[in-house]
Chains A and B, each alone.
Chain A
Amino acid sequence: MSTFALLAVTGLGLGALYFMVASGLSLILGLMRVLNLAHGAFLTVAAYAAWSVIQMIPDQTGWLAMVVAIVVGIVAGGLFATLTEMILIRPLYRREIGQVLVTVGLWLATVSLIHGIFGADQKIIALPTALTETTAILGAAIPNARLIIIAFAVVLYLLLYFFLKRTRYGLIIRAGVENRAMVSALGIDVQRAFTLVFTIGGMAAGLGGVLTGANFGEIDPYRGTAMFISAIIVVVMGGMGSITGSAVAAVVVGLMQQFLNYYATGVGDFAVVILLAVVLLVRPGGFGGATT
């Protein structure tokens, strides 16, 4: 029972991280039809920005360092994503293949630049002692960091849900996912919504980058790519533009990887791809359809 609980919480923690990357990716895809391959780079840049800033704080295992890291990560991810949209994506408006291609270039260039500046070796992330301690749940010793990560994902989901359901911009984004041409025809500036989804997606990925570091205890230049590919599976399974679909798919993928990797060594990563194939065969649109 204790192994089961540990695997379940670890899987949920992974799913929580996938959701942070996938939610922004899914919104960008749903609204702009742009597959943003640089989304993993947002995560990596945010994680390294946070790491660089907390090197200046003397007490790295204090709460101050943790809070600063999260704030820096969110700001760096959001800023990088906003600049990406404004400088690289916007000039290629209506050239959707071109938009995908510049994000390919950005991914290659960013990852190799991070590699050049910081080296290929991982950087250790120190956590406050309260987070490395464990809490007993169903007899399993669960590291507190995992629980915090899950809590962050739940808060992110609720924030995104209420933003999309209750605010004017959320309404424009939901309408844009349904029918972009109609929204423009009604005289609404969709361009601002484009920038906005990139900013939100970058902030969520930035949070994901810092918390991925906290989860694994280290960051390296290539983790972002691995997270991005898992997020891709989540987005396809969840349905493009659907936050709830992404959340459900993220939990399914995280749990499945964790349980299968434990009980049948190394099978988990294949099993999710096979699950993806099955979902596509049965239901090509994924779990969710609309923006809810």
Chain B
Amino acid sequence: MIRALIVIGVIILLAAAPFLPIPIPIIFSDPLNAPGTLNLIGLCFVFGGLALTYDLVFGFTGLLSFGHALYFAIGVYVPAVLLAKLHFTLPQALLTTAAMAIIVPLLIGAVSLRVRDTQFAMVTLAFAQAGAVYVGQSALTGGEEGLSLGSDSLPAFLVGVTNTHNLYWIALAFLIVSYCAGWWVVNSPTGKVWQAIRENERRVAVLGLNPFFYKLSSFVIAGFMAAVAGFVYLLLQGGASPDVTTANFTLTLLVMVVLGGVGTLWGAVAGGIIYEYLNFRLVALSNSAGLQGLPAIIRVPASEPEFILGVLFILLVLFVPGGLAGLVRRHSAAVAAH
């Protein structure tokens, strides 16, 4: 009961952030309601939700997919191309994107789930790479340059710095909805079968259920939700860039989930939020004046956010298995024991 009240309180507080001109030193460089701060928090929400969708596949079903970025990229690129290049209306673009976000993971999942474990990981990586190659080469996607959404392709309340608070609310709503959807699906009979497959696939098969269809359902649901995250990301960024299609991007999703705790919804969300925040701040740090005075042996690694996060990740895997959620669980178990 108290926990529910705290959650509702936090949500109300987050929803009210655009009205609160409070400076939060150290954590944010601008006041809470400044467009820059709202945009950063919105991006954190998107990655929290995206990490959650990856956790459905990897954490709850036990499928190590290296191609999850592809479905996020569908949510970013398909509407961007349809709106900016082919002049679809917003509803038309969204319907087409939704259809693609179901068909593509369905086809790729049906092929790659014929193999398992490591081979599955490699095949999903290869498919995602094909997507990245396409985005890099095609004239439609703008190649390496990316694609910027013109102001006339979206309704007025979604465009411009003065409307950042609307995008912030959309991102917050996306995170809340995906958390609820995630919670509902992992506690549904289907979600229970996913977790049973993760623990022991053969036993599920012996019980008369077909693991293939359950794994495919996990793959498609998570892929679709990732595409929704991609669309919110597109709104926040105002355009698409090929970074989101790369193999590195999928790896960062894996880092987020492992950071927060594999197989826990809130852990994945926290991992996604913390990762994106750190990544953003570390980029700012790498451009800061204070760093320039340091000797090269410290300055060069410190100015590469991915280096710091990669090393942090290795240490985490070696010494903190279970991530943040594991730490919290061990801590509360220790408190309970006293």
Contact = CB atoms under 8 A, between A and B. Distances in A.
A273 B130 contact: yes
B313 interface: yes
Nearest to A107: B251
Nearest to A34: B118
Given A270-B134, A276-B123, A97 B64 contact: yes
Nearest to A115: B304
Contact of B310 (A34, A105, A266): A105
B26 to A, nearest CB: 25
B137 A266 contact: yes
Contacts of A29: 118
A284 interface: yes
Interface string A185-218: 0000000000000000000000000000000000
Q: Chain A contact residues: over half helix, strand or loop, or mixed? A: helix
B122 A235 contact: yes
A113 B303 CA distance: 9
B311 interface: yes
A108 interface: yes
A229 B313 contact: no
B258 A101 contact: yes
B301 A113 contact: yes
Category for how many chain A residues contact B: 35 or more
Contacts of A35: 118, 121-122
A111 B248 CA distance: 10
A215 to B, nearest CB: 19
Nearest to A228: B247
Contacts of B119: 236, 240, 284
Interface of A: 29, 33-35, 37, 88, 91-92, 95, 97-98, 100-102, 104-113, 115-117, 225, 229, 232-233, 235-236, 240, 266, 269-270, 273, 276-277, 280-281, 284
Given A98-B318, A273-B130, 13 more contacts: A33-B118, A97-B64, A98-B317, A102-B317, A105-B255, A108-B307, A113-B307, A117-B300, A225-B248, A233-B126, A276-B123, A277-B123, A284-B115
